[in-house]
Amino acid sequence: MRPSLPGMLVAAMLSACAVTQPVPPKLDLPQGSATAAQNELLEHWWTAFNDPVLDALIDEAFAHNLDIQLSLARIGAARAQVLLAQSYLAPAVGLVGNGARTRISAETSPALPPGAVQTSNNFGLAVQLAYELDVWGKYRSGLLAATNDLAASRYYRETVRIGVAAEVASAYFRLRAADAEAKLLDDTLRLRTETVKLQRDRFEGGIIGEYDLRTAEAERSAVVADIARTQKAILQLESAVATLTGRSPRAVFTPAVTRGAAIDDVTEVPALPSGLPSGLIERRPDIRRSEALMAASDLRIQQARASYFPSLTLTGAYGVESAAMSSLFSGPAGIWNIGLGLVQPLLGLKAIEADVELATTRRDQAIVEYRQTVQVAFREVHDALIANRSARDVLAAETDRRDRITIAFEVAQLRYDAGRTSFLEVIDAQRQLLAAETLRLAAARDAKLSIVDFAKALGGGWDPAQYAAVR
């Protein structure tokens, strides 16, 4: 049985009226393995370091960081767009009042009978209504698109907060590592200074030659240069922390950053949940933002297509009108009207077609960006897992190397004191010990940074449950 033309028209109208939340494309994703408790730990991952100063710095950044404040302003703009879109679904109601006094010209109205009144008054007051019926879902699509944009702006804020927390922690751990290196260099400088003094006494006593003395002095100067470079890094990192925490320009220029854990605790590295959390797409706000933007772009295609259909406008007015102000609110002065208007586009269809094509192109771009965001997210998790495992292995190896070189240095010092070897062997052992301890500190720093990157990659630092996804 062939469908009738009215049935086809009704079906077309119903399909045009339907406005639904678009569904993101299906992707081939790996299985999650983390538990709910591990996912909960990710919400405040920085507390695993047991450093109250770090906790306070991140709280300060959340309250004052300028990037976060800018993201809040974007939420406000998106919320205003939602209110604007909602206004199109409500009727426009206005109160209209008028008063006029008119005189008719006898010259232009020759048929005016003698003695006729040429002057008249007219007063009116009415409530007017205009409402465009959203038959085709044009404004509902726009409202749902704006709602998705608002959700995207909120997810963007969480993405910024995650990044800020990671940057603060990264800068703080680099600063603490630089502090530890500065302490190591200060201790080394004292040792080298004592060595230079001892070698100078031996040189003046004729026990050693000038070569050994100048070598000791050169090694001391090398440590002084390393101290200067380390102090430069410390000052720059302090300024970075002050900037990330949103402090004033004066505080950024002359930063004062409190230190937390003791310097000996710098090499202690806590453990975070390993494995892939279940529902990584729900944990990463940047993915959810991309999903919301993709849905908004899809809805704007529906909004653009609705312009092909006629617009139906309902108008009406109710009020009073009189020639005298005294009788304006009398019963006979009442007036009203109601009307229905229809406008069907006939010309300019190419412009509508261009709008639809533009919206479609933007939707296609948003889909690619969504797939790309998911791809990058899983790559970051993969790389962070590898870096975390590698950093721990490197730290263990560098610690073992430092311990063995420490023994070698002690043996070299004993051999030199006994006159069984040259001073070059002692200098070489000192140099290797300093390098080994420096590398151990760097390995401990990298191990902590790998945890920061791992937590960031897993979308740690926010509670996904606090945002109800637009579905």
Closest to 471 in 3D by CA, of 144, 77, 162: 144
Per-residue pLDDT band at 10 (split at 50, 70, 90) = very low
Report the alpha-carbon distance of residue 236 to residue 450 in Å, rounded.
21
Choice among 60-74, 188-202, 321-335 with the minimum mean pLDDT: 321-335
Distances (CA, A) of 357 to 17, 236, 302, 307, 361: 20, 50, 11, 13, 6
| pLDDT tens per residue, range 14-38 | 455 667 888 887 877 777 665 555 6
Length of the chain: 471
> b/e for 265-291, b at 16 or more Cβ within 10 A?
ebbebeebbeebbeebbbbbbbbbbbb
Q: Which CATH architecture has domain 21-100+140-294+349-465?
A: Up-down Bundle (1.20)
pLDDT tens per residue, range 442-471: 898 998 898 899 889 888 888 777 775 554
Query: What is the pLDDT confidence band of residue 226, given thresholds at 50, 70 and 90?
Result: very high
Please tell me the distance from the alpha carbon of residue 45 to that of residue 36, in angstroms, as a whole number: 14
Please tell me the predicted confidence (pLDDT) of residue 55. 93
State pLDDT tens for residues 52-99. 999 999 999 999 999 999 999 999 999 999 999 999 888 888 888 888
Phi and psi at residue 82, to the nearest 5°: -65, -45
Among 60-69, 88-97, 301-310, 341-350, which is the least confidently predicted range? 341-350
| Count of C-beta atoms within a 10 Å radius of residue 215 | 19
